[in-house]
Amino acid sequence: MGLKTVEQYKESLRDGRVVYYKGERVEDVTTHRELSVCVDTMALDYEMSESPQYRDLAVVYDEGLDQEISRYYHLPKDGNDLLRQFDLIVASTRLGDGFIPLAHDIGADALNAISITANMMGNKEYIERIENYRTYLKQNDLAVVSAVTDVKGDRLLRPSDPRQAHSDYYVHVVDQNSKGIIVRGAKVHISGAAYSNELFVIPCRAMTEADKGYAVAFAIPTNTPGLKQVCRPFHSRITPLEFPNSRPIRVHSDSLVIFNDVFVPWERVFLCGEWKFAATMVYHFALMHRRTACAYRIPMTEQLLGVAQAIAEYNGVAKAPHVQEKITDILIYLQTLRSMSYSACLDYVTYGGIPVPNPVTTNIAKYHFADQYHSIVKIIQDLAGGLLVTAPTYKDYQLPELHEDISKYLGAHAGMPTEQRLRMFDLIRRLTGADRETIALHGEGSLQAQRMTIYAEARKVLAECKKMVEEQAGIE
């Protein structure tokens, strides 16, 4: 089969999948008025592998298969491979105007995490299954996303705790036979699931022996019987109140994915009851995934830098010392994210025989992004001024009796057309809405999740530093 074209990708989604959006069953996600916008965003990955400009970055030649494959499914061999994948995510997110395409990127994080876990377990059956599945993904260039976050119920109770209102808050095995397993439960916030071909399912937390049935990982097609998805609403169009813009909208939807007794064949099962390795899998997924997150946050931050500089110039304040200081803060924020992410790839560690970005640096980079994000947005909201929320709409601007007054009174920097300023306010509102703030905080795990990894990974350094100062203090 080989690399898919955009049309082949779209055709592959017309497969009877069960998807709901705004209270209605969606017959075909590729032609649906709103979800088709998400499909086009995911299709950017397929466009890149067809494009002479991006082909070298997006595609690698696989010697074993003697065919070109998506770089995402290539098993990284060293820091340079990690860096090239990083650069690919940055480039694809730039193409997506700040939206990562999702066709292969986050799925590849789960793929590699499962490989690492199988290798660490030394389980030959699992190693063979996941490598066969990797080959299948390579050969068919399938879009695959990662379903990790369970609905969880009471957060402080374990999956198997009898005090949970029911036993299905975490995806778990309810039956098995010679052909495979039957699973039940629900995963939530699963980005791109409604328009991907396949779904990786892995546990979202460490498990105890009592949670054995919840220690399950597998991959299935998104049209598997028993699978139902409910997509979250999103803005797929410029509203009539905003200035028209012919540039395509890029956006994603995230699904509540419900598994009502879904059958998974054994060859697609990568963890089933080995509860001690649930933590290994989710840990390595989080690590790879936070590297991915740092990459796609770079173009998002470039957008923030761009709008800050643009609106400062339009308002005529770009040369004011405090404004330059604030823009410098964004530059430092961006360059810190970029440098730490690059350093994490080059200063990689090897887990289960597979190179992974440095865990501490990756978590600090992602933490830095999420923790400071609101301060950066605050700078933009500050530089934009109150018109960001009170500016008249495009419809007002169009009215003959208002047009001249709005043009006259809402001008700012000499020579700058008012329309340009109003258009920039529209963009800033789209970029800095609450959606993005929540994604910045919660995507790839809450702030606390990164702090926990940073602290856990630092145990050795802490012990060494403590020993060093004890020696310096003359303590035996």
Ligand X SMILES: Cc1cc2nc3c(=O)[nH]c(=O)nc-3n(C[C@H](O)[C@H](O)[C@H](O)COP(=O)(O)OP(=O)(O)OC[C@H]3O[C@@H](n4cnc5c(N)ncnc54)[C@H](O)[C@@H]3O)c2cc1C
- Residue 452 CB, nearest approach to ligand X (Å): 9
| Site stretch for ligand X (CB under 6 A), options 47-55, 145-153, 178-186, 347-355 | 145-153
For ligand X, which residue of 8, 139, 176, 189 counts as binding (CB under 6 A)? Answer: 189
Q: Which amino acid is at 370?
A: A
Decide if residue 69 touches ligand X (CB under 6 A). Answer: no
What are φ and ψ of residue 102, in 5° steps? 80, 0
The two three-digit tokens of residue 446, written as one number: 């809450």
Q: What track of x and - describes contact with ligand X for positions 104 through 133 (by CB under 6 A)? A: --x---------------------------
Is 235 a binder of ligand X (CB under 6 A)?
no
What six digits make up the tokens of 413? 């920097």
Residue 287 interacts with ligand X (CB under 6 A): yes or no: no
319 near 114, Cβ under 8 Å?
Answer: no
Sole window of 160-168, 275-283, 414-422, 443-451 interacting with ligand X (rule: CB under 6 A) = 443-451
Radius of gyration of the chain (CA): 24
Report in angstroms how near the CB of residue 449 gets to ligand X at its nearest.
6
What is the longest distance spanned by two Cα atoms in the chain?
A: 85
**Phi, psi (5° rounding) for residue 474?**
75, 25
Q: How far is the CB of 392 from ligand X (least distance, A)?
A: 31
In the DSSP assignment, the letter for residue 233 is: P
Give the Cα separation of 84 and 75 in Å (integer).
12
Asked whether position 442 contacts ligand X by CB under 6 A, the answer is yes
Other CB atoms closer than 10 Å to residue 431's CB: what's the count?
18
Of the candidate residues 155, 166, 247, 460, the single one contacting ligand X (CB under 6 A): 155
Of residues 409, 448, 472, 473, which one binds ligand X by CB under 6 A?
A: 448
How far is it, in rounded angstroms, from Cα 415 to Cα 428? 21
Residue number with CB closer to ligand X (189 or 429):
189
Give the residue among 90, 203, 221, 76 at the shortest CA–CA distance from 145.
221
Bridge pairing between strands 227-231 and 144-147: unpaired
Cβ 15 to ligand X shortest distance, Å: 20
- Neighbouring CB atoms inside 10 A of 37's CB total 19
Q: Is 96 in the site for ligand X (CB under 6 A)?
A: no
CB of 374 to ligand X, least distance (A): 15
What distance in Å separates the CA atoms of residue 275 and residue 273, rounded to the nearest whole number? Answer: 5
Distance CA(276)–CA(121), nearest Å, equals 10
Q: Of 59 and 271, which CB lies nearer to ligand X in the complex structure?
A: 271
User: Residue 446, interface with ligand X (CB under 6 A)?
Assistant: yes
Residue 190 interacts with ligand X (CB under 6 A): yes or no? yes
Does residue number 443 form part of the binding site for ligand X (CB under 6 A)? yes
Residue 368 vs 421, nearer CB to ligand X:
368
* 253 lines the binding site for ligand X (CB under 6 A): no
153 binds ligand X (CB under 6 A): no
Q: In this structure, are strands 216-221 and 198-201 parallel, antiparallel, or unpaired? A: antiparallel
Closest residue to bound ligand X by CB: 148
Whole-number minimum distance, CB 300 to ligand X, in Å? Answer: 13
Q: Is residue 147 part of the contact set for ligand X (CB under 6 A)?
A: yes
Report the amino acid identity of residue 257.
V
Residue 289 CA from chain centroid, whole number:
7
Tokens of 155: 């957060």
Q: Identify the three-state secondary structure at position 260.
A: strand
The reply on whether position 445 binds ligand X by CB under 6 A is yes
| Positions in the binding site for ligand X (CB under 6 A) | 106, 145-149, 152, 155-156, 189-191, 254, 438-439, 442-446, 448
